């Protein structure tokens, strides 16, 4: 059985091919620049080079960023489900369209192949209402304005992979740091998400590559008024011009910042680590303590100076066991696909 996993973003299309032999195993994974039909054409070219016909696959899994309140687990997509998913586009306007466009195009290309939508928000559906609800009038919560959380597919992977990696049971109170261009923390208690730093959107929480993380909404209102910005112009600043890029004025790339001797690069790194640790304290409070910590994601796995700085800020927690778990959203999605089509 051969499965395709697709992760469509705004600038890249990531994909992986997995096979059951009899256990699921990665055959290859790759990514192409671009989005939409152009990126999918490159995907089909790679599959053709591997002598894989997309219409002969056993199933296709898609990473969809936002499942809203309705989708708290993977779902087999039909026309009705796709229509419901399209109504969620406004919840993540800079992420959701790409995943849904790839889903639509692949359903057109391979209409008889089962396709499964897997959601980055689903893992956080276990958050208690007190963690998910904003202190706004009740009508807004009822309309779906709440803290959803993201990176859930990789958090799900970490929870399943850590015991196999350590040979010990999953720690009861686990703090996971998913650090990449997008970044968040998750408090996992008894294997379930009870709090996370991202909220309604992927802007909230930690300092990221080009996103600011937690930000006083009064600042947003003031900037929009003072500079007479449209919502779209403010959105551009928040999603693409802030974070490490905004702090350093140099780059959003952590590796380049670590290699730089510029004071603004050092300041950006220190700010990134300070806020990661400061928000970690909030999640530790949500769990009533912490038994272990995991770093994952491109920065979490590879940037030892960043891990060291964050752990230094958390030195008051005494001897905290710290692990590194390589991100693997593809395997989680593939398992969800096999669970729904077999």
DSSP letter, residue 45? H
Whose CA is closest to 224, among 235, 211, 215, 213? 235
Helix (H, G, I), strand (E, B) or coil at 167: coil
Q: Dihedral through CA 214, CA 220, CA 223, CA 225, nearest 10?
A: -170
Q: Is 78 a catalytic residue?
A: no
Residue 169 to residues 19, 162, 165, 174, 269, Cα–Cα distance (Å): 28, 8, 10, 11, 34
Angle at the Cα of 72 from the Cα atoms of 71 and 77, rounded to 5 degrees: 45
Residue with tokens 């230094």: 312
User: Cα–Cα distance between 251 and 243 in angstroms, integer?
Assistant: 10
Q: Tell me whether residue 288 is exposed, middle or buried, using C-beta atoms within 10 angstroms of its C-beta: 0 to 12, 13 to 18, 19 or more.
A: exposed
10 Å CB burial of residue 177 (0-12, 13-18, 19+) is buried
Helices (H), the chain: 36-49, 79-86, 96-109, 129-132, 138-142, 152-166, 217-226, 231-240, 243-248, 254-259, 263-287, 297-302, 304-313, 329-341
- Cβ neighbours for 161, distance < 8 A, ≥ 6 positions apart: 325, 328
Identify the active-site residue in 78, 101, 120, 216: 120
Catalytic residues: 120
């Amino acid at each position: 059985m051969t499965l395709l996993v697709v992760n469509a973003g705004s600038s890249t299309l990531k994909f992986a091919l997995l096979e059951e032999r009899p256990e699921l195993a990665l055959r290859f994974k790759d990514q192409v620049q671009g989005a939409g039909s152009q990126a999918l054409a490159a995907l089909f070219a790679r599959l053709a080079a591997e002598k894989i016909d997309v219409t002969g696959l056993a199933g296709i899994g898609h990473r969809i960023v936002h499942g809203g309140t309705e989708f708290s687990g993977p779902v087999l997509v039909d026309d009705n489900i796709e229509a419901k998913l399209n109504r969620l586009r406004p919840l993540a306007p800079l992420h959701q369209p790409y995943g849904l466009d790839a889903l639509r195009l692949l359903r057109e290309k391979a209409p008889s192949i089962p396709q499964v939508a897997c959601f980055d928000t689903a893992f956080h559906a276990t958050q208690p209402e007190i963690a998910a609800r904003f202190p706004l009038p009740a009508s807004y919560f009822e309309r779906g304005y709440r803290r959803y959380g993201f990176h859930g597919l990789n958090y799900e992977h970490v929870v399943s992979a850590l015991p196999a990696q350590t040979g010990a049971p999953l720690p009861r109170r686990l703090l996971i740091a998913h650090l990449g261009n997008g970044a968040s923390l998750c408090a996992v208690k008894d294997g379930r998400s009870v709090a996370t730093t991202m909220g309604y959107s992927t802007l909230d929480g930690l300092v990221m590559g080009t996103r600011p993380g937690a930000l006083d909404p009064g600042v947003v209102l003031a900037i929009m008024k003072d500079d007479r910005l449209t919502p779209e112009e403010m959105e551009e600043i928040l999603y693409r011009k802030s974070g490490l890029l905004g702090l350093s004025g140099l780059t959003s790339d952590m590796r380049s910042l670590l290699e730089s001797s510029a004071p603004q690069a050092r300041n950006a790194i220190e700010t990134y680590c300070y806020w990661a640790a400061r928000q970690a304290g909030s999640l530790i409070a949500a769990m009533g303590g912490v038994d272990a910590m995991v770093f994952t994601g491109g920065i979490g796995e590879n940037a030892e100076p960043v891990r060291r700085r964050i752990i230094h800020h958390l030195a008051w927690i005494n001897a905290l066991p710290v692990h590194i778990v390589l991100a693997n959203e593809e395997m989680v999605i593939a398992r969800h696909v096999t669970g729904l089509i077999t």
